Amino acid sequence: MTTEREKQKADAVVVVKQAKPDNLARQIRFWLIGAALLALFVFTFSNILLPFVAGMILAYFLDPVADRLQRFGLSRLMATIIILFTFLVILVLAAVILVPVLANQLADFVSKLPDYMTQLQTLVTNFDPQWFEQRFGVDANSLQEGLSSLLSNGMGFVTTIAESLWRSGVAIFNIAGLFVVTPVVAFYMLLDWDRMVKKVDSWVPRQHVHTVRRLAREIDASAAGFLRGQGTLCLILGAMYAVGLTAVGLNFGILIGFFSGIISFIPYVGSLVGLVLSVGVALVQFSPDWIWVAVVAGVFFAGQFIEGNILQPRLVGKSVGLHPVWLMFSLFAFGSLFGFAGVLIAVPASAAVGVLVRFAIERYLNSPLYTGEDSEDSEGPTIDATPNKVEQIGKGS
């Protein structure tokens, strides 16, 4: 009797071992096809996704606030209404106060940019022509021609990028349409966020649900650390730079400061671009009073010190896990594929890909492909598939 039962158990285990690779292969094919269809959908409708993606990101950004208000006794509907109403009021006030100032400074900056470039070029080439000739073997005229060519190419590159972003994103819908659709999407997404998460969780294969939940928590921690933490950091830096440059008396201080802060989500690029712009304007505006040029540069160095030692650890921390090179590559890649909407989804998408890659490497390091062990020896404990244990098969993660 015992021998027969052991034989039945061994046969059942063999059957499970043979069926497991087939089930895994089917699941892999299913999810790969689903991922391909999702990528095709995003690529096909990339031109109209901007307000919807912006609304989803806004809802994701504000979801912790809604959860906290619910803990205070408010319903989800009331919490959503209060949050979005407050957000829209702040946005409208900021637009009424800041947009006219920024628009005027931008128009003035664009009109004066050729003169600024000419004065800066003259200032550099006439600083000490003999020093340039002795050190670099070129005279002032050659250097001036080279700088003119470099500045022309640089301005052409910046103009091309700006026009590309405008055509791929904002130009598809006018600004009024974007401001109408995005709050509506954000309202419904924020209202149903928890229900959507539970619904998606119910679709996950039950034998992998614990693994998927762990990966989802890691992705959420990485994306939230960047979107919420870095987003807040960019706004604070923009305000700091704008106030500092304006206090120094730099022309276009508000424009340069906010622009530098907003693009600080790209590592090193935001601060470097802001430093170059502000010092370039300061050289033309304050030269030969070099002390004020140094003060303008000091505003950015102080901002970098505050960011690295105070703001970054508190707001972002170490939960992001995105390498600067990987982040910059993802911004360029998603922007090239999906336009301005791709830039918005680049960070959460790259965070998700990073978590999945780390998970794949972890599984590889524990697999026979890395250890060289026979698959029979590395499978761990076998599954008891006797009739009274059949219901337990597949419930593990």
| pLDDT score recorded for residue 77 | 92
Residue 22 CA to chain centroid, in angstroms? Answer: 37
Tokens (6 digits) for 121: 């070029």
Name, in order, each residue with C-beta under 8 angstroms of 133's C-beta and a sequence gap of 6 or more: 139, 140
Place of tokens 């919420």: 228
Give the range with max mean pLDDT: 5-19, 223-237, 294-308, 383-397.
294-308
Could you tell me the pTM of the whole model? 0.63
Summarize the chain as % helix, strand, coil (round to 5).
85, 0, 15
d(CA 42, CA 39): 5
Judged on CB neighbours under 10 Å (0-12, 13-18, 19+), 346 is buried
pLDDT at residue 390 above 50?
no
| pLDDT score recorded for residue 131 | 61
Residue 290 or 243, more confident? 243
pLDDT in tens, 90-100: 888 877 888 78
Which segments of 72-170 does DSSP mark as H helices, in order?
76-125, 129-136, 140-165
Place of tokens 């791929």: 168
pLDDT at residue 1 above 60?
no
d(CA 84, CA 263): 25
- The ranges assigned to domains in the chain are 46-203, 207-373
pLDDT in tens, 110-120: 788 777 777 77
Name, in order, each residue with C-beta under 8 angstroms of 101's C-beta and a sequence gap of 6 or more: 254
d(CA 255, CA 277): 11
pLDDT in tens, 218-270: 888 877 777 777 788 888 899 999 999 999 888 888 888 988 888 887 767 77
d(CA 232, CA 70): 23
In contact, 163 and 339? CB cutoff 8 Å:
no
| pLDDT score recorded for residue 209 | 87
Give the range with max mean pLDDT: 51-65, 67-81, 119-133, 220-234.
67-81
Least confident of 204-208, 369-373, 393-397: 393-397
Tokens (6 digits) for 288: 């030969």
d(CA 350, CA 69): 30
| pLDDT score recorded for residue 151 | 60
Closest CA to 344 of 97, 168, 104: 168
| pLDDT score recorded for residue 319 | 52
DSSP-derived secondary structure for 209-256: HHHHHHHHHHHHHHHHIIIIIIHHHHHHHHHHHHHHHHHHT-TTHHHH
| pLDDT score recorded for residue 181 | 82
Q: Does a cis peptide bond (omega within 30 degrees of 0) precede residue 288?
A: yes
Residue 261 CA to chain centroid, in angstroms? Answer: 15
Least confident of 66-80, 125-139, 258-272: 125-139
Name, in order, each residue with C-beta under 8 angstroms of 262's C-beta and a sequence gap of 6 or more: 234, 235, 238, 270
Closest CA to 273 of 238, 311, 243, 249: 238
| pLDDT confidence bin for 14, thresholds 50/70/90 | very low
Residue 33 CA to chain centroid, in angstroms? Answer: 26
E strand or H helix at 365: helix 324-365
Q: Taking all residues of the chain, what is their mean pLDDT, rounded to a whole number?
A: 75
Q: What is the DSSP letter of 174?
A: -
Average pLDDT of the residues in 316-335: 72
Phi-psi domain of 73 (left: phi exceeds 0; alpha: psi -120 through 50; beta: other): left
